[in-house]
Amino acid sequence: MKAYKRLTIGLLTLQGDFERHRHQLELLGAGSRDVRLPSDLESLDGLIIPGGESTTMSILMDRFDLRRPLLAFARRHPVYGTCAGMIMLAKNIENNISGVKPLGLLDIDVDRNGYGRQIYSFEDELEVHLNGLPKKIKAAFIRAPRITRLGKGVQVLADYRKEPVFVRQNNILASSFHTELGDDMTVIKYFADNFFS
């Protein structure tokens, strides 16, 4: 785990399940820092946008003047978004009645709660393809977004019932599901091993 000690990953802590991501970073041996203000982004190696409520995240990003600094940061650093984090990274949101303003960093369109509302949340086993090798992981879909359009430059790392749920584009990684709720380190380790030179 010594190799990860050099990393300090920001956690967007405006709202959501950021503590589980912090726990996984601790298990990995990497450092973390809360990000609520533009100055919190300074000297970070990367950023995680957690699951949570995308409407609240969008409002608070603007309230704390974080939108433009986040966009500038993501042009130069790795960013990983889970669930609501994927929604915030997307280019467009379908049926966007809540007026969420996504960052547009990932060339996908999403349908919020596309896999059902809270009462329809579920866990299932997925096969992910990381570094050319298949691996089984447990994935929790909690009010999960469904990808409805996939841009040409977006690589699919896993699908669920023939629909993409785990994708990568350049320095951006995103999943419809959560893996940080348990202690499976597959996804966070892939992020740390493949997105930082």
Catalytic residue among 19, 94, 163, 180: 180
Residues 35, 67, 17, 91, CA torsion sign: negative
To the query of whether residue 83 is one of the catalytic residues in this protein, the response is: yes
| 9 token code pair | 């990953």
To the query of whether residue 180 is one of the catalytic residues in this protein, the response is: yes
Catalytic residue among 53, 123, 129, 178: 178
To the query of whether residue 178 is one of the catalytic residues in this protein, the response is: yes
Catalytic residue among 42, 53, 77, 83: 83
| 126 token code pair | 């997925």
The residues annotated with a catalytic role in the active site are 83, 178, 180
